[in-house]
Amino acid sequence: MTILERHDRNGIATLYLNAPERLNALSDAMLAALQAQIDALREDTETRVVTLAGRGKAFCAGHDLREMTAGRQAEDGGKAYFADLFARCTNVMLGLQQIPQPVIAQVHGIATAAGCQLVASCDMAVAAEDTKFGVNGVNIGLFCSTPMVALTRNIPRKHAFEMLTTGQFIDTARAKELGLINRSAAPKELERATRDLAETVAEKLGAAVKIGKRAFYEQLQLPTAEAYAHTGAVMVENLMMRDTVEGIDAFLEKRDPDWKTAGPSPKNLKDT
């Protein structure tokens, strides 16, 4: 059984966490498989959008506690293993934001601890209406410090701190209200709702989305004035692109753009 499945269709790559018997925990093997796909996607010029989903009854239940327990058998009590584990996990979470393609989480069942971190690390998220989200490590005496990094960059800090210190779950409606997810859907409509969002993004000029995603995360780290200076330079770069010139001309001339690097037209996407 492949622990991480990939299916490609019309420029959209869907990755399925495929360890349902372990609630798609982020085991060593799962992290390695995710990292391999991230590395491949960095160089992938055909894929325009990535969706990330889970097989079985849960999206992701976080780190694999059985593996972590086994790691304690080392002479140092697992200290080196744990440090390496969180470093590898960090590389995956950052990698999702560093690849050129927008990444959309398709969430169902539960997304807990590092699983919730995974949702927060994706660029966008769509969740089934009955999903539960939590950073509940504190319930077993392990504060979710690394998931906290992604969570606090998605939702207001007081709400994040409440989730982290109480270990209580929030439902889909609350996750949407706080900004952890973008959209919700009935469980049976989740895949379609996620694909609708992915197709909308895939219709856009890929080069513009790529440069925009990179600038989005870069400007977040800068003071306001520096952010404007940086993004101004990015827009100049964007305006120098042949397809951007064509897009502007087409808009002014009230016709469809003849993009050389764009994906299929909206009609073609909807016909497939």
Residue-wise pLDDT for 20-38, tens only, equals 999 999 999 999 999 999 9
- The percent of residues above 70 in pLDDT, for the chain, comes to 96
> Tokens for 249?
């001309």
Question: Is the predicted pLDDT of residue 167 greater than 50, yes or no?
Answer: yes
Q: What is the pLDDT of residue 155?
A: 98
Comparing 29-38, 68-77, 244-253, the range with the smallest average pLDDT is 68-77
Q: What is the pLDDT of residue 263?
A: 52
Q: What are the tens digits of pLDDT across the range 145-155?
A: 999 999 999 99
Q: Is 203 in contact with 269 (CB distance < 8 Å)?
A: yes
Question: Is the predicted pLDDT of residue 270 greater than 60, yes or no?
Answer: no
Which residue from 66, 50, 144 is spatially nearest to 106, judged by alpha carbons?
Answer: 50
Helix (H) or strand (E) holding 245: helix 242-252
Q: Is 4 in contact with 34 (CB distance < 8 Å)?
A: yes
Q: What are the tens digits of pLDDT across the range 178-226?
A: 999 999 999 999 999 999 999 999 999 999 999 999 999 999 999 999 9
Domains and CATH numbers, the chain: 4-202 (3.90.226.10), 206-271 (1.10.12.10)
Which residue from 119, 132, 61 is spatially nearest to 93, judged by alpha carbons?
Answer: 119
Q: What are the tens digits of pLDDT across the range 84-121?
A: 999 999 999 999 999 999 999 999 999 999 999 999 99
Average model confidence (pLDDT) across the chain: 94
Question: Is the predicted pLDDT of residue 68 greater than 50, yes or no?
Answer: yes
Helix H segments across 25-153?
Answer: 28-42, 65-71, 79-98, 114-121, 145-151
pTM: 0.93
Q: What is the pLDDT of residue 1?
A: 81
Q: What is the pLDDT of residue 268?
A: 39
Q: What is the rounded distance in angstroms from the CA atom of residue 198 to the CA atom of residue 270?
A: 12
Question: Is the predicted pLDDT of residue 252 greater than 70, yes or no?
Answer: yes
Confidence of residue 265 (pLDDT cuts 50, 70, 90): very low
- The percent of residues above 90 in pLDDT, for the chain, comes to 93
Q: What is the pLDDT of residue 264?
A: 47
Q: Going by C-beta distance under 8 Å and a sequence separation of 6 or more, which residues neighbour residue 168?
A: 134, 136, 162
Q: What are the tens digits of pLDDT across the range 112-129?
A: 999 999 999 999 999 999
